[in-house]
């Protein structure tokens, strides 16, 4: 196993990785920007190295600075966390070239699955259901219109280099499709320097369901069931839960098996999330693969009892997974609420500043993943997430009760947070009755 690793991230995930390493006897080196010099987890890491000013381009995205820190500290490996360099194939390649293990997939897998057209074709090859749509990319609007009339409107034009909701356009007829095709292509060209687009039937009011998977270097693959992430706003998830409350056992098994087919076909290694859309008839369709550990991984950890960060470290260190699929069980219901420094009353605009008051919830079934403490300063330079509140209870009803209790115990001030918005959702009839989809917040919380 590794003796020492570098954590190329900040915030709660840096702390999460330090905790896993401490239990495994791995030393940690954390890098930080000038804005994070007073971060709580710096005290808990074995070593901390400043890599630059607050601006992410000059610090957490600064590959030469991070590699230099890794060389100086003489680490065996780098954990990228999520965001920043986590899905950067170029960075993973540089790590390999420098003899440092990147704790994640091989650069080729990241590159291939980062191309949504290639990922879609791979899923088809693995006999996994994909949304009806184009074979490969769509070259011109004539081809788009011809296909749209074959599969039926509405359709969605997506950028091959997109993902996470960037570079998408919906069209309801030939005229709007001509427009959608042109704008999607132009936007993709500008945002990703790659104007490749493809077309899918637009699934109306879907649920977002994703499967957690892991693969070791020997090709052993495991799934850890699914998370329902339908409660999101502008592609930023707010509440996630596991299991998906509307799946029957048979569909769950099919879904999870499909996720494994995708990562087996990709000859994947380490943690991934395979994303699906679930339509009104509870039919699922593959959409994309995230090649990183995700923010919402704790809900999976709670229902399965498995530490996914430790598993990532073991796999990257060359250990084979010594678990069988049938030994992985899910029990109870876990829900995660993201506590962001945002004002829900002002269109969720960021609310950075000093945290004067910070009282944590606790008690039975409650987990809080946070790097924040009383006196901490929330920087405007980074993502606004300041804590994740996770509950794990035997049933969904009990999980909701505990979550509401824990949210109301949480005291954060004077900055505004998403706590009131989470409380509203958890009390909403449609949420309680499992009648939500990805448009829930826009439709019922504004
Ligand atoms: C879709 C879709 C409807 N039909 N694809 C948005 C993020 C990206 N991962 C895929 N996304 C979508 N793809 C088809 N064919 C609707 C969305 C979508 C969405 C998906 C998941 C979670 C939230 C969403 C919000 C709006 C649109």
Q: Domain limits of the chain?
A: 4-103, 132-201, 207-444
Ligand 1 pocket: which of 180, 208, 296, 441 to mutate (most atoms within 8 A of CB):
208
Identify the pLDDT of residue 400.
Answer: 98
Q: Which residues line ligand 1 (CB under 6 A)?
A: 131, 156, 163-165, 200-203, 206, 208, 232, 235, 275, 277, 287-288, 438
DSSP state letter for 383: -
Is the pLDDT at 178 greater than 80? The verdict is yes
Task: Over range 349-375, report the average pLDDT.
Answer: 98
Tell me the mean pLDDT in the region 65-94: 98
Could you say which DSSP state residue 446 is in?
-
Best residue for ligand 1 mutational test, from 120, 160, 165, 210 (most atoms within 8 Å of Cβ)? 165
Minimum-distance ligand 1 atom for the alpha carbon of 202? 4
Query: Quick check: 165 pLDDT over 80?
Result: no
Q: Cα(443)–Cα(437) distance, rounded to whole angstroms?
A: 10
The closest residue, in CA terms, to atom 21 on ligand 1 is: 208
pLDDT beyond 80 at 163: no
Selected residue with higher pLDDT from 164 and 356:
356
C-alpha 206 to ligand 1 mean position (Å): 8
Q: Please state the atom number of ligand 1 nearest to the C-alpha of residue 275.
A: 9
Instruction: Calculate the CA dihedral of residues 4, 70, 36, 407 and round it to 10 degrees.
Output: -40
Active-site residue, selected from the candidate residues 292, 338, 367, 393: 292
User: Where are the strands (E) in 216-354, listed by range?
Assistant: 221-233, 236-242, 270-278, 284-290, 333-340, 342-343, 349-350, 353-354
How far from chain centre, in Å, is Cα 404?
Answer: 24
Asked if the domains at 4-103 and 207-444 fall in one CATH topology, the answer is no
- List the beta strands (DSSP E) in 298-419: 333-340, 342-343, 349-350, 353-354, 357-359, 366-370, 377-378, 385-393, 411-413
CA 77 to centroid of ligand 1, rounded, Å:
34
Asked if 292 is an active-site residue, the reply is: yes
What separation in Å is there between the alpha carbon of 302 and the centre of ligand 1? Answer: 26
pLDDT higher than 80, residue 355: yes
| CATH no. of 207-444 | 3.30.470.20
Question: What's residue 222's pLDDT?
Answer: 98
Distance, CA 374 to ligand 1 centroid (Å)? Answer: 38
58 CB-side CA count, 13 A: 9
C-alpha 203 – ligand 1 centre gap (Å): 8
* Atom number, ligand 1, closest to the C-alpha of residue 230: 22
Task: Give the atom of ligand 1 at the shortest distance from the alpha carbon of 133.
Answer: 15
Domain 4-103 has CATH 3.40.50.20: yes
Complete edge-to-edge strand list for the sheet that includes strand 101-102: 47-52, 27-33, 4-7, 77-79, 101-102
CA of 283 to the centre of ligand 1 (A): 15
Confidence of residue 67 (pLDDT cuts 50, 70, 90): very high
What's the whole-model pTM score?
A: 0.98
CA–CA dist 102, 86 (Å, integer): 9
Residue 147's pLDDT is 98
- pLDDT of 168 > 90? The answer is yes
CA-CA distance, 388 to 418, in Å (whole number)? 11
Q: For residues 82 and 9, is the Cβ–Cβ distance under 8 A? A: yes
Which atom of ligand 1 is found nearest the CA of 438?
23
* The predicted structure's pLDDT at residue 166: 78
Nearest CA residue ID for atom 9, ligand 1: 164
- Pairing of β 377-378 and β 236-242: unpaired
**Which segments within 137-185 are labelled E, that is strand?**
155-163, 166-171
Q: Mean per-residue pLDDT for 291-298?
A: 98
pLDDT of residue 446 exceeding 90: no
Question: pLDDT band at 125, cuts 50/70/90?
Answer: very high
To the nearest whole number, what is the mean pLDDT of the chain? Answer: 97
What is 132-201's CATH number, 3.40.50.1820, 3.90.1150.10, 1.10.340.30, 3.30.1490.20? Answer: 3.30.1490.20
In the block, residue with structure tokens 């992410």: 56
Q: pLDDT band at residue 167, thresholds of 50, 70 and 90?
A: confident
Q: Is the pLDDT of residue 164 over 80?
A: no
Nearest CA to ligand 1 atom 24: 438
Give the Cα-Cα-Cα angle 37, 40, 44 (nearest 5 degrees). Answer: 105
């Amino acid at each position: 196993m590794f003796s020492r690793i570098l954590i190329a991230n900040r915030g709660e995930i840096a702390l999460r990785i330090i905790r896993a390493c401490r239990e495994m006897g791995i030393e940690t080196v954390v890098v930080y920007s000038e804005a994070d010099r007073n971060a709580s987890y710096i005290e808990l890491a074995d070593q901390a190295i400043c890599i630059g000013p607050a601006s992410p381009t000059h610090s957490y995205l600064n590959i030469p600075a991070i590699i230099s820190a890794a060389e100086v500290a003489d680490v065996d490996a780098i954990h990228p966390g999520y965001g920043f360099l986590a899905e950067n194939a170029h960075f993973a390649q540089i790590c390999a070239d420098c003899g440092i293990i990147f704790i994640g997939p091989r650069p080729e897998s990241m590159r291939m699955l980062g191309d949504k057209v290639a990922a879609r074709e791979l899923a088809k090859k693995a006999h996994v259901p994909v949304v009806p749509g184009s074979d490969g990319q769509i070259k011109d609007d004539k081809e788009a219109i011809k296909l749209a009339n074959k599969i039926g409107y509405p359709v969605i034009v997506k950028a091959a280099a997109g993902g996470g909701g960037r570079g998408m356009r919906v069209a309801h007829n030939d005229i709007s499709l001509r427009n959608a095709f042109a704008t999607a292509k132009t936007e993709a060209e500008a945002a990703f320097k790659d104007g490749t687009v493809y077309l899918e039937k637009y699934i109306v009011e879907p649920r977002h369901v994703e499967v957690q998977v892991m693969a070791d270097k020997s090709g052993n693959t495991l799934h850890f069931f699914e998370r329902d992430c339908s409660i999101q706003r502008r592609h930023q998830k707010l509440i996630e839960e596991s299991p998906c409350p509307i799946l029957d056992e048979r569909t769950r098994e099919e879904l999870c098996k499909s996720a494994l087919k995708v990562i087996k076909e990709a000859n994947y290694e380490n943690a991934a999330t395979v994303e699906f859309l679930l339509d009104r008839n509870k039919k699922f369709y593959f959409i994309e693969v995230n090649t990183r550990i995700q923010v919402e991984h704790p809900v999976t950890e709670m229902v399965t009892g498995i530490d996914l960060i430790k598993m990532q470290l073991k796999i990257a260190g060359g250990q084979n997974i010594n678990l069988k699929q049938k030994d992985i069980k899910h029990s109870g219901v876990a829900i995660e609420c993201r506590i962001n420094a945002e004002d829900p009353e002002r269109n969720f605009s960021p609310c950075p500043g000093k945290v004067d008051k910070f009282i944590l919830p606790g008690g039975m079934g409650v987990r809080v993943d946070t790097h924040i403490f009383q006196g901490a300063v929330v920087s405007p330079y980074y993502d606004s997430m300041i804590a994740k509140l996770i509950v794990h209870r035997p049933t969904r009803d009990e999980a909701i009760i505990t979550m509401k209790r824990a949210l109301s115990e949480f005291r954060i001030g004077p900055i505004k947070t998403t706590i009131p918005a989470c409380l509203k959702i958890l009390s909403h009839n449609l949420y309680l009755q499992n009648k939500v989809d990805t448009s829930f917040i826009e439709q019922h919380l504004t």
